[in-house]
């Protein structure tokens, strides 16, 4: 169920819909064009959405909502309240429809990313990685993931520490951690704040027989013990900047930090955010509207 209302009524309607549905609600700012809450401009109108389980008859709920909106209109005849709408959301739309767009991918010099339902010829020198992303981000098709994989391959090939230890922050489907293992990384820790993503990553580890080589979990970065030769962080630019001091301290001297998930317009934000850290900026790579940034930690004198 959803309804478009003036911003001044967003809170009262949210409370009503939360009680009506028995679930949380989603408030959409119609003017949003930002990644940080502090950057979201005020909008004169909001869309409030509530969700019902598939075993709930929506008709009585819609009738209650329409009656409530009728009362609001009577109290506030000076404002426009749109009629409510209802739409069915099928689980299949989220978990299956993307499959038609997920095709085998060749990335870098050796990596081949293959959906579980596809088969392609693989050359002896190529590294095959099977992925079923489920509800987690990471098939290799998105620019941010491709940029990470390309920089990862270069970094491991040129690493002074063999096999390098690696931290994958925001692992999603586990694709970057698994690629790192195939490329020759040693100790690998793959973390995500979403427990569902971690479950998906673990399933992909089993699928690729890498469950004994990669540790997955939801441990916060601040609680991670030890340091790493390579750190991958494919998350939003603002979150990268927030984590800059912690990422820097978790990187071994001479280690490599790969940052992705950055819109090109946010590159300066990230660059400035990491400027105070004892890191050397190496390069930025780009693909479409996205960029990835490579840093190295200054070696000990």
pTM across the whole model: 0.65
- 5 vs 245: CA distance, rounded Å: 42
Q: To the nearest whole number, what is the mean pLDDT of the chain?
A: 82
pLDDT of residue 179: 92
Least confident of 141-145, 240-244, 274-278: 141-145
Asked if pLDDT for residue 148 goes beyond 80, the answer is: yes
Which is higher by pLDDT, 278 or 56?
Answer: 278
- 73 vs 44: CA distance, rounded Å: 17
Q: What radius of gyration, in Å, describes the C-alpha atoms of the chain?
A: 23
Which is higher by pLDDT, 69 or 106?
Answer: 69
Residue 219 burial (CB < 10 Å; 0-12/13-18/19+)? middle
Closest CA to 150 of 287, 255, 270: 287
Asked if pLDDT for residue 126 goes beyond 50, the answer is: yes
Asked if pLDDT for residue 114 goes beyond 60, the answer is: yes
Going from the C-alpha of 152 to that of each of 22, 135, 183, 295, the distances in angstroms are: 45, 24, 9, 12
Strand (E) or helix (H) holding 127: strand 127-131
Domain 96-297: assigned CATH number: 3.40.50.150
pLDDT of residue 42: 59
Question: What's phi and psi for 231, nearest 5 deg?
Answer: -125, 130
- 132 vs 178: CA distance, rounded Å: 13
Which pLDDT band, with edges at 50, 70 and 90, does 217 fall under?
A: very high
- The helix/strand/coil state of 216 is strand
Q: What CATH class has 2-89?
A: alpha beta
Q: Are 138 and 283 contacting, i.e. CB atoms less than 8 angstroms apart?
A: no
Task: Collect all residues with Cβ–Cβ distance below 8 Å to 162 and sequence separation of at least 6.
Answer: 184
- pLDDT tens-digit readout, 27-58: 765 444 434 444 445 567 888 888 887 778 88
Q: Are 286 and 278 contacting, i.e. CB atoms less than 8 angstroms apart?
A: no
Residue 48 burial (CB < 10 Å; 0-12/13-18/19+)? buried
Cite the residue boundaries of each domain of the chain with CATH code 3.40.50.150.
96-297
Closest CA to 279 of 242, 243, 254: 254
Cite the residue boundaries of each domain of the chain with CATH code 3.30.70.
2-89
């Amino acid at each position: 169920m959803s309804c478009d209302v003036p911003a001044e009524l967003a809170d009262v309607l949210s409370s009503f819909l939360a009680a009506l549905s028995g679930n949380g609600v989603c408030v959409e700012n119609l003017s949003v064009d930002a990644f940080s809450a502090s950057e979201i401009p005020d909008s004169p109108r909001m869309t409030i959405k509530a969700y019902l389980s598939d075993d709930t008859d929506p008709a009585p709920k819609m009738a209650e909502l329409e009656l409530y909106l009728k009362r609001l209109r009577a109290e506030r005849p000076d404002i426009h309240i749109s009629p409510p709408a209802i739409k069915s959301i099928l689980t299949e739309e989220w978990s299956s429809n993307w499959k038609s767009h997920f095709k085998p991918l060749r990335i870098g010099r050796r990596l081949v990313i293959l959906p579980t339902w596809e088969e392609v010829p693989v050359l002896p020198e190529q590294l095959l990685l099977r992925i079923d992303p489920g509800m987690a981000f990471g098939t290799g098709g998105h620019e941010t993931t491709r940029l990470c994989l390309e920089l990862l391959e270069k970094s491991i090939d040129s690493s002074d520490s063999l096999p390098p230890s690696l931290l994958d922050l925001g692992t999603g489907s586990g694709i970057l951690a698994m690629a790192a293992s195939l490329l020759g990384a040693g100790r690998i820790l793959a973390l995500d704040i979403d427990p569902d993503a971690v479950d998906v990553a673990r399933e992909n580890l089993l699928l690729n027989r890498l469950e004994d080589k990669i540790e997955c979990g939801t441990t916060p970065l601040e609680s991670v013990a030890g340091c790493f030769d390579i750190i991958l962080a494919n998350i939003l630019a603002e979150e990268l900047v927030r984590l800059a001091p912690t990422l820097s301290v978790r990187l071994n001297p001479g280690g490599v930090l790969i940052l992705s998930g950055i819109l090109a317009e946010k590159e300066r934000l990230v660059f400035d955010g990491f400027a105070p850290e004892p890191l050397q900026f190496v390069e930025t790579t780009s693909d479409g509207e996205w960029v990835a940034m490579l840093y190295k930690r200054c070696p000990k004198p």
